[in-house]
A and B are shown apart, each in its own frame.
Chain A
Amino acid sequence: MKKILTIALSLFSLVALAQEKIAVTESDYSNSSVDMADLMRSNGKIYIVVGIIVIIFIGIVAYLIYTDRKLSRIEKSISA
């Protein structure tokens, strides 16, 4: 009982400490007072950046797959 009470109280104290902070709310998504990359989005240019990142990632993954396969071949050849 004492243990449960201690755990409950310590959890409560963590929550109480966290009260000093400001929670993220729905209104944080709709305000227009904070600058975001809205212009970039309206131009459509952000998609180009995303595309570039995805191409680079696919390239790296293709290289990793190639290395993985090559290693599998070597493993097969030395076990034979």
Chain B
Amino acid sequence: MRQSWWKILAIALLLYTFTAGLLWDVPRLPILNETIRALYFHVTMWFGMLVALLISMIYSIRYLRSNNLKDDDVAIEFANVAILFGMLGIFTGMLWAKFAWGDYWSGDPKQNAAAIALLMYFAYLILRGSLTDTQQRGRISAIYNIFAFAIYIPLVYILPRMTDSLHPGNGGNPGFNSYDTDATLKMVFYPAIIGWILFGTWIATVRIRMRRVERTLEDRMLNS
């Protein structure tokens, strides 16, 4: 229980997101109507993905410096969580888009970029699966992961904002203006982001520990 305060915080923040996010006042805007509440669920998925990918990339760098497979475990499992968040983000986005923009897929720059980003990380999983030597797999996939992240940021967060997009935030950074959200929305939006990030971290840590137990057991089998 000593190190589980952040897990409790994750549960509390998400319970708050589900209740306040569905019940609290939101701006009554045309076309969006109640779907503006998807801000707390769809948009937060991408924050979860971004943070998970950042952690994954950092641990890939650490692995290249240390050659310790424990770092590789963290890199792959945070990438897995990032892909989970990304898929949920794409699917929730498609549903929202059907009712806000009229179609599941409008070829919007950000939609396309997000799809490419997901394919890029599917390739990461395939690359890992195709290498059997653990150190070789760790090294090659770590390098791929670092480059993938370097492409991911401009692809999803910069390029779509430099052109006309259905997504908010073109012509600048939406973090610098108050045109898409306001203080009331942010009261739920920010806690929701933190909640989802912590929840994703929790899932990742459980899977990282699973990998380490598996490796310990394998090593014992080989040595006995």
Contacts and interface: CB of A to CB of B under 8 A. Distances in A.
A18 B173 CA distance: 9
Contacts of A23: 178-179, 182
Chain B contact residues, majority secondary structure: helix
Contact of A54 (B15, B210, B213): B15
A71 B19 contact: no
Interface in B162-185: 171-173, 176-182, 184-185
B187 interface: no
Given A14-B172, A46-B23, A64 B34 contact: no
Give the interface size bracket for A toward B.
35 or more
A25 B111 CA distance: 28
Contacts of A78: 213, 216-217, 220
Interface string A15-54: 1011011111100111111111100000000110110011
Contact of A68 (B23, B177, B180, B206): B206
A80 B136 CA distance: 31
A50 B18 contact: yes
Interface of B: 7, 11, 14-15, 18-19, 22-23, 25-30, 33-34, 171-173, 176-182, 184-185, 202-203, 206, 209-210, 213, 216-217, 220
Interface of A: 11, 14-15, 17-18, 20-25, 28-37, 46-47, 49-50, 53-54, 57, 61, 64-65, 67-68, 71, 74-75, 78
Given A33-B30, A64-B206, A78-B217, 20 more contacts: A15-B176, A17-B171, A18-B172, A18-B179, A21-B177, A23-B178, A24-B27, A24-B179, A28-B28, A34-B30, A36-B26, A47-B23, A49-B22, A50-B18, A50-B19, A53-B18, A57-B14, A57-B18, A64-B202, A65-B7
